[in-house]
Amino acid sequence: MELFWTYGPMFIRELQERYPEPKPTFSTLSNQVRTLQADGFMSHHAWGSNFQYYPLISKEEYSKSGISSIVDEFFSSSYTRMVMSFVKDEKLSVEELETIIDLIRKG
């Protein structure tokens, strides 16, 4: 998705050219893009028998979708459980959490 947001609509060959070595195979990229399309994140324009793909959502929308999916799957749709998990695993200190709360209150 990142390459599409950076460079705009692309054919699979163009996408493949933008990857660093070792480049993924054409079929691997094609499968990934079709999966993103099936999930509603991408669409395409047909140019004869070739397809030029483009994103349907912004990077910000995609990020929010990903975070929501993680919260739904691993934390029973509870952001509180997610934050508590970070605190419990010492990924987020109580002081950092208090700073976040202060920032929220200040709006």
**All structural domains of the chain with their residue ranges:** 2-55, 76-107
Strand 42-47: give its sheet, edge to edge.
10-11, 50-55, 42-47
- Can you give the pLDDT at residue 21? 94
pTM: 0.65
Does residue 53 contact residue 43 with C-beta atoms inside 8 Å? yes
- Can you give the pLDDT at residue 54? 98
Summarize pLDDT for 60-91 with one digit per residue, the tens: 988 888 788 888 889 998 989 998 898 888 88
Residue 2 neighbours by CB under 8 Å, 6+ apart = 59
Q: With the C-alpha atoms ordered 37, 40, 43, 48, is the resulting torsion angle positive or negative? A: positive
Q: Is the pLDDT of residue 7 over 90?
A: yes
* Domain 2-55, CATH among 3.30.30.60, 1.10.10.10, 2.40.128.260, 3.60.21.10: 1.10.10.10
